[in-house]
């Protein structure tokens, strides 16, 4: 599957619905975001590697499809305006992004793997919840897709480099 703003927004709204306090809502929001990214993001790399012993033949595996693992949490931020809430959410998301990592397919051992650039979320002019959340999710997905992960390491008895190609 691929990440979509509509899908992410629906997952977040569904999970946050019924929250009775800010702590619960923030944790559910971040949990829904993480669950959605883990379940839907597909990270692709080109893989160039050679056997580490004679004959130095190339690895027949040339494409790696990986996934993302997320960790962290959000705490209530006490924001009183949409702008300040989104600014604080951006800061929390960026702090937690350092804890996001790539899960490599079986047989691969590579590092470092993933760097998400700073994501700054700005409010939209939407007045309806779904539309406003789609605008936020569009910015989150765009930020994640700007990641520039590269890695080196091994695949079975091959050693090489993984070059990021795309996140969908």
Residue 111 lies in a domain: yes
**What confidence tens digit (pLDDT) does each residue in 103-160 have?**
999 999 998 767 778 888 988 889 899 999 999 999 999 999 888 778 999 999 999 9
Q: Which domain holds residue 124?
A: 5-149
Q: What tokens were used for 95?
A: 């702090």
pLDDT score at 137: 97
Residue 166 lies in a domain: no
Domain tally, the chain: 1
Whole-angstrom Cα distance, residue 64 to residue 30? 28
Residue 163 lies in a domain: no
Q: 5 near 134, Cβ under 8 Å?
A: yes
Q: Tell me the residue ranges of DSSP E strands in the chain.
A: 43-51, 63-69, 101-103, 108-111, 150-155, 158-167
Residue 17 lies in a domain: yes
What global pTM score does this model have? 0.89
Residue 158 lies in a domain: no
Q: Which of 26, 147, 141, 156 is nearest to 104 (CA)?
A: 156
Residue 71 lies in a domain: yes
- With vertex at residue 79, the alpha carbon angle to CA 73 and CA 81, rounded to the nearest 5 degrees, is 130
């Amino acid at each position: 599957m691929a990440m979509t703003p509509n899908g992410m927004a629906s997952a977040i709204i569904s999970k946050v619905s019924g929250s009775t306090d800010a702590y619960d809502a923030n944790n559910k929001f971040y949990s829904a975001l993480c669950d959605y990214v883990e379940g839907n993001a597909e990270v692709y790399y080109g893989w160039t590697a050679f056997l580490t012993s004679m004959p130095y033949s190339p690895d027949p595996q040339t494409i790696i499809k990986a996934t993302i693992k997320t960790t962290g949490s959000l705490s209530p931020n006490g924001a009183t305006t949409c702008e300040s809430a989104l600014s604080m959410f951006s800061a929390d998301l960026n702090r937690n992004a350092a804890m996001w990592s790539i899960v490599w397919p079986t047989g691969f051992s590579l590092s470092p793997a993933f760097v998400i650039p700073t994501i700054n979320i700005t409010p939209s002019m939407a007045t309806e919840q779904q539309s406003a959340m789609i605008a936020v999710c569009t910015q989150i997905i765009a930020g994640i897709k700007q990641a520039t992960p590269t890695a080196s390491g091994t695949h079975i008895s091959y050693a090489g480099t993984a070059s990021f190609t795309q996140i969908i």
